[in-house]
Structure 1
């Protein structure tokens, strides 16, 4: 361990501390003996009493050679004494001395000549027990060897936290030489925030005397900013025999390997949690945009500072990867950053279309199906990850230093790209990050592809559904009609809901609303068959119950579907309404005075059950009255009782409204949730007078 290099104020500090006794001197028990020029003992210290066994009274005035030496050693001792007194050169070494108890002890001497103001010479002998001295020397040698060769860092700092001693291991850890440590403060040798807290801890140990063991300090390694080094620091206050603080002993162990291994294990655990969590967080809906946003939410901030999810536009429009020799056209689906940053302006906003240049990482991904990992982004690499020069400038200003692009592959087909970047996160993407990103992309790509497939099937079914629905004439004899169809907006496909308004002989009009149980193209197809059959049966002039009976037989011969239906025939000449129901929710009659009521009709069984007769009910429908027919998607929810929802329907119909078109829109807005899981058919018919009046309504 290197010795202290005194600073300018060390002498003053030593003077102020000079009154403190030295434990080392006490341990050695140094005895002092003063001899006159003829060899007589003139002075005798108390420590000499212990070392030689003679008291001051017994020793002073005696010849030292006769008192302390055996005859065989006297001649040699007298010769050494004469040489010191004659030449003035000191002598040091071990010499056997006779103790008062008769035994012989080996004593370490330091002999020197002293001269007083008269020019007379004296001999001063300083002596210590040889065995005690050797024991102490061995301990010091062992300590010095351990300190200098120990693989752990050791240092001693004074009360001002200046380095007094440093061993080679600590100098190597700090990459600062031993000499450059000495006399400098801890914070001067090791500047920076991680070490500022360690310095505060040192001062606390000085104040309290309570040691701190294995305090972890982590700092960036000087040879690689992305790497970190870790040390376990133990601090102990050094005290004298009176308990006064002398400084700090600092024991430092380099635990970088252990720290990195633990950090790697933590990252592995984090990746496992991320993968496990992604399965629950990605693909919760069958909406393409939502699924892409869910992927972005998983990636940021745990894996990247910013992410963009782009899908090939051909996949969205046709369901296939098809760009031929032309540049691939991407549609941005999701963008997310971990914090507000100008780099977000460099990323394609959701909904936009673009074709990246040939050297762009996204282009490489869709052409090769391979990911692109740019560990350290340089000036040339920025252009590879940016759409254009302006975007490259923004990414560089934001400090993007690492980039990763991963293809989205589902069922062996490349459908898009996920691009990630790091700026504030100082660690570059590595192979582990690449493996995790590919795992997340693979899972998410399948969910996105399922959503795309669902979107295409749904679009097909919705198109089929709409083509099968009638184009209404706004006015029929004695009636004003308004209708709406809304497909399902959530997980389910479009269903088999339909409405129809069929002109009949004699100014009569058939009003129909039905719901095929099920969803998708098969339900829409079954709905089309039922609507065709209903139109054909209507021309036969049958009453509503007979119509439903025939439809019940027809649907039993189709796919195994059930359907509910309400069928009504209105005759404006006598203002009569004949109506029958097959398992459908009750229609609402809103009277001309604005009072709505649920019609109490025989409910009947759904079409397709068979064997149960239907009943026709006759009602008055006078000018100004409104008949509201609807399917269950308007009122049924997963959380509310149906009676409550029917009351809500009546409440929504209560306000007066001159337009039945507005009434349709208000009902859909107030009663139907934006993400409803069922489709809706709604039909409102308001009665008007013909040229002749309706029969008077009975009192």
Structure 2
């Protein structure tokens, strides 16, 4: 610890003039002055002496000091010491027991020296103080000095002109400057990173009003550690002497960088945990690749990155094994998002387009190595490895890209693609902790992307199988105009069981079939194919509808408990007669020109696969231009409406003025179906017409 010319630096630059008020140290010590003449009698007696020894001036003046103050056993020693001082042998200092007026004995510390007046008369000056008081002051001073010098807290004392007069070692270490470079200078002259005007203004307010300013927060870089941003809490409080006179300002400085970093780390940890929890809830809500990719992008922007791209290997999307020559990789961007408008968005690969990159590209390296690639601080030379071409590199530079992170999307041991992350406006570079978090997010998202990939693959397989099993183009039939539709369900596991068929029969008759296998997926599609083939075979035998259904019932029983509903109708265009039977199916709708559409009242029967239940054929007449509307329950059944209300909606739609059958199909599907419906639907509409002579078109 260093002081400048005394505790508060009277000789420091800007010190007060010689008439400044005295300090209070002597008052604290209670120094007494006593003058003895050559015979040892008391000639002068100060008020402090009266306070120290108990005798008034009147009681002490003119009396022998030895006999007044010294116990008998010490008088000879004191007389000898007095003689030495008076003989000019030097001053004497020491501690001696002194008798107080009250009869007690006290230790007093003396400083004695010889004085000589203008007449050559000799005197002895004694300066005394209570030893106990001196010891207390010495202890307090020593303790204070120890506390200041050994304190881990930076401490400084400044005079009333706000110049350093004392700096402890801790503050030297904090500021990276020795005490000598502080003393006599103002704060702004020593610590250039501070706002000196604001700091000195706060100090002057403390000097003026005496109200401490505690825990003022400030940050900066000092000579002690110029590469690291530090944070401190600084306090100012006024110093006063025993009489209340303002003598300066004390300041304490505590480096709170570690605490601040720990608090910031805790905040980051909470945010990361919240981000992971948010990702778990928001990613994978749909078995759609593009939606899942957008959900991932929405999670990381803007909380984690300024710019994000979700790039998936084209081989993954195509369902083929990747051709890995070690040099290139082909990607398709499924999602690109930015936190704000930026030229960087034009540098990203357009969503949906195929892009191939060689092994120098960081995204390729991440995919090939199945490891993250981190570039904490992007240099200009790095841009060529990040951007797809020179133009994109220029755009990224213009956008202020300064940190980059590529993380592979890995699910079930397979690399599906890469999560591409960039920071520009966010000034914090990606670090190891960010990499760990990005890997966790990518892992969670990759599972959802993989699920969506397999879902789409399975969906394509189911739809391919089902469309292969359905008639591609029903033949034109005599006396009938036919239109049909098939719409799969929104979900793969709910598609596959509905079918329709138009079967040519002898005598220009036509069988119309609509069925719905209970269950879904590939198994339902396969069962549907078997029942459809069986129905065509049985119809060709000329069996009545109820007999066909009975045979199909037996077949369904043999298919491991498969069950299905079905409506089977045979139309004879020469007799304008229709024979129909149903197996647990919803009633067809009959529309006649000039009449209200009606649901046919048919014996419903039991579904196919129940076994041993009889079916019944109903015969009815059809006029020219009458329409039969056959459908599966996916057209009318919903989870939130009563089936009777939905059937009424169907008949209401059919009561509108007649339109072409293709338009009628589109009308029914558009009005009754929703994009996310959970069941597939088969729709078949047949309108009777006049038989034409010769070849039927």
Q: With the length of structure 2 as denominator, give the TM-score of the two structures.
A: 0.80
- Per the alignment, in what secondary structure is the counterpart of residue 519 of structure 2? strand
How far does residue 423 in structure 1 lie from its aligned partner after superposition? Answer: 3.6
How far does residue 406 in structure 1 lie from its aligned partner after superposition? Answer: 2.7
Q: CA distance change for structure 1 residues 155 and 649 in 2, over 3 Å: closer, same or farther?
A: farther
How far does residue 334 in structure 1 lie from its aligned partner after superposition? Answer: 2.2
Per the alignment, residue 379 of structure 2 pairs with: 378
Contact 1:369 1:407 in 2 (8 A): yes
Aligned length: 680
2:345 paired with 1:344: yes
> What is the correspondence of 1:431-470 to structure 2 with a 5 Å cutoff?
431-470=432-471
Q: CA distance change for structure 1 residues 238 and 573 in 2, over 3 Å: closer, same or farther?
A: farther
CA distance in 1, matches of 2:547, 2:188: 100
How far does residue 354 in structure 1 lie from its aligned partner after superposition? Answer: 0.7
My pick for the range that moved more, 155-164 or 299-308, is: 155-164
- Per the alignment, in what secondary structure is the counterpart of residue 357 of structure 2? coil
Per the alignment, residue 524 of structure 2 pairs with: 523
- Per the alignment, in what secondary structure is the counterpart of residue 481 of structure 1? strand
Per the alignment, residue 168 of structure 2 pairs with: 167
My pick for the range that moved more, 237-246 or 523-532, is: 237-246
How far does residue 331 in structure 1 lie from its aligned partner after superposition? Answer: 0.7
- Per the alignment, in what secondary structure is the counterpart of residue 637 of structure 2? coil
Per the alignment, residue 398 of structure 1 pairs with: 399
2:74 paired with 1:73: no
How far does residue 626 in structure 1 lie from its aligned partner after superposition? Answer: 3.8
Query: Which digits, 9 at most, give the CA deviation of each residue in 1:408-448, with x for residues without a partner?
Result: 34444433222223344444444444444444434443443
How far does residue 598 in structure 1 lie from its aligned partner after superposition? Answer: 3.7
> What is the correspondence of 1:110-121 to structure 2 with a 5 Å cutoff?
none
CA distance in 1, matches of 2:159, 2:667: 83
Contact 1:472 1:501 in 2 (8 A): no
Query: Which digits, 9 at most, give the CA deviation of each residue in 1:237-267, with x for residues without a partner?
Result: 7677799998876555545556656665666
> What is the correspondence of 1:204-353 to structure 2 with a 5 Å cutoff?
229=230, 251-254=252-255, 256=257, 278-301=279-302, 303-324=304-325, 327-353=328-354
How far does residue 454 in structure 1 lie from its aligned partner after superposition? Answer: 2.6
Query: Which digits, 9 at most, give the CA deviation of each residue in 1:628-679, with x for residues without a partner?
Result: 3222223333444434444444455455462332332233233322223322
CA distance in 2, matches of 1:389, 1:226: 34
Q: CA distance change for structure 1 residues 384 and 130 in 2, over 3 Å: closer, same or farther?
A: same
Per the alignment, residue 106 of structure 1 pairs with: 108
CA distance in 2, matches of 1:75, 1:289: 109
Contact 1:591 1:625 in 2 (8 A): yes
My pick for the range that moved more, 635-644 or 222-231, is: 222-231
How far does residue 458 in structure 1 lie from its aligned partner after superposition? Answer: 1.7
Q: CA distance change for structure 1 residues 66 and 244 in 2, over 3 Å: closer, same or farther?
A: closer
- Per the alignment, in what secondary structure is the counterpart of residue 328 of structure 2? coil
> What is the correspondence of 1:164-203 to structure 2 with a 5 Å cutoff?
165-179=166-180, 184-185=186-187, 189=191, 191=193
How far does residue 609 in structure 1 lie from its aligned partner after superposition? Answer: 1.7
CA distance in 2, matches of 1:476, 1:205: 108
Q: CA distance change for structure 1 residues 120 and 482 in 2, over 3 Å: closer, same or farther?
A: farther
CA distance in 2, matches of 1:256, 1:140: 32
- Per the alignment, in what secondary structure is the counterpart of residue 528 of structure 2? helix
Structure 2 stretches of 5 or more lacking a match?
A: none
Query: Which digits, 9 at most, give the CA deviation of each residue in 1:285-315, with x for residues without a partner?
Result: 3322233333334444555443322111122
CA distance in 1, matches of 2:188, 2:650: 78
Per the alignment, residue 610 of structure 2 pairs with: 609
CA distance in 2, matches of 1:568, 1:207: 104
How far does residue 268 in structure 1 lie from its aligned partner after superposition? Answer: 6.0
Contact 1:627 1:686 in 2 (8 A): yes
Contact 1:513 1:629 in 2 (8 A): yes
CA distance in 2, matches of 1:616, 1:244: 119
Contact 1:474 1:482 in 2 (8 A): no
Query: Which digits, 9 at most, give the CA deviation of each residue in 1:316-350, with x for residues without a partner?
Result: 11332224477321111123344544333322232
My pick for the range that moved more, 641-650 or 165-174, is: 641-650
CA distance in 1, matches of 2:535, 2:200: 86
CA distance in 2, matches of 1:428, 1:32: 72
Q: CA distance change for structure 1 residues 104 and 453 in 2, over 3 Å: closer, same or farther?
A: closer
- Per the alignment, in what secondary structure is the counterpart of residue 462 of structure 1? helix
Contact 2:85 2:92 in 1 (8 A): no
Contact 1:159 1:206 in 2 (8 A): no
Structure 1 stretches of 5 or more lacking a match?
A: 85-89, 693-699
How far does residue 53 in structure 1 lie from its aligned partner after superposition? Answer: 1.5
CA distance in 1, matches of 2:123, 2:619: 147
Q: CA distance change for structure 1 residues 22 and 667 in 2, over 3 Å: closer, same or farther?
A: farther
- Per the alignment, in what secondary structure is the counterpart of residue 330 of structure 1? strand
Contact 1:205 1:212 in 2 (8 A): no
Q: CA distance change for structure 1 residues 275 and 199 in 2, over 3 Å: closer, same or farther?
A: farther
How far does residue 210 in structure 1 lie from its aligned partner after superposition? Answer: 8.4
Contact 2:187 2:200 in 1 (8 A): no
Per the alignment, residue 32 of structure 2 pairs with: 31
- Per the alignment, in what secondary structure is the counterpart of residue 315 of structure 1? helix
Q: With the length of structure 1 as denominator, give the TM-score of the two structures.
A: 0.80
Contact 2:181 2:190 in 1 (8 A): no
- Per the alignment, in what secondary structure is the counterpart of residue 530 of structure 1? helix
My pick for the range that moved more, 329-338 or 485-494, is: 485-494
Q: CA distance change for structure 1 residues 660 and 326 in 2, over 3 Å: closer, same or farther?
A: farther
How far does residue 81 in structure 1 lie from its aligned partner after superposition? Answer: 6.9
Per the alignment, residue 695 of structure 1 pairs with: none
Per the alignment, residue 642 of structure 1 pairs with: 643
How far does residue 565 in structure 1 lie from its aligned partner after superposition? Answer: 1.6
CA distance in 1, matches of 2:648, 2:246: 84
Q: CA distance change for structure 1 residues 171 and 104 in 2, over 3 Å: closer, same or farther?
A: closer
- Per the alignment, in what secondary structure is the counterpart of residue 133 of structure 1? helix
My pick for the range that moved more, 144-153 or 332-341, is: 332-341
Query: Which digits, 9 at most, give the CA deviation of each residue in 1:523-557, with x for residues without a partner?
Result: 22322232223233333443332222222223333
Per the alignment, residue 697 of structure 1 pairs with: none
Q: CA distance change for structure 1 residues 152 and 469 in 2, over 3 Å: closer, same or farther?
A: same
How far does residue 360 in structure 1 lie from its aligned partner after superposition? Answer: 0.6
Per the alignment, residue 556 of structure 1 pairs with: 557
CA distance in 2, matches of 1:143, 1:362: 63
- Per the alignment, in what secondary structure is the counterpart of residue 605 of structure 1? coil
CA distance in 2, matches of 1:641, 1:204: 80
Per the alignment, residue 87 of structure 1 pairs with: none
